[in-house]
A and B are shown apart, each in its own frame.
Chain A
Amino acid sequence: MRRHARLSAGAVTGAALAVAAVSGLAVPAYGAEDAVAAVRPSGSATGTLEVYPSSVVPGGHVSVNTKACGTKASAAGDASAVGAGAFPLAPSAHEGDAIGQFRVPESAQPGTYEIVADCAAGGRRVKGDLIVALGSAQGQLQPRGSVKTGVGGALGADPVRTAAGVAALAVAAAGGTWLLHRRARGDGI
Chain B
Amino acid sequence: MRRIGNSAIATVTVVALCSGVWLLRSAGSEQPPPQPAAAEGRPDPGEERLSAPALPPSPPTRIRIPSIRVNAPLMGLGLTPSGSLDVPPSREKNLAGWYEAGTTPGESGTAIVAGHVDNTEGPAVFYDLGALRKGSIIEVDRRDGGVAVFTVDAIEVYQATNFPDKKVYGAARRPELRVITCGGGYSRSTGYQGNVVVFAHLTGSR
Contact = CB atoms under 8 A, between A and B. Distances in A.
A36 B102 CA distance: 11
Given A36-B79, A94-B144, A162-B23, A172 B118 contact: no
A138 B122 CA distance: 38
Interface string A21-48: 0001000000010011001101110000
Contacts of A150: 33, 116-119, 124, 181-183, 186, 191-192
B101 A151 contact: no
Given A63-B59, A140-B101, A147 B87 contact: yes
Contacts of A169: 16-17, 20-21, 24
Main secondary structure of the interface of B (DSSP, over half): mixed
A63 B30 contact: no
B145 A93 contact: yes
A168 B19 CA distance: 7
B34 to A, nearest CB: 11
A175 interface: yes
Chain A interface residue bracket vs B: 35 or more
A138 B172 contact: yes
A154 B30 contact: no
Contact of B102 (A137, A140, A145): A140
B36 interface: no
B127 interface: yes
B83 to A, nearest CB: 5
B81 to A, nearest CB: 9
15 contacts: A50-B59, A52-B100, A55-B101, A146-B194, A148-B191, A149-B180, A150-B183, A153-B28, A153-B119, A154-B28, A154-B117, A154-B123, A171-B12, A172-B13, A188-B2
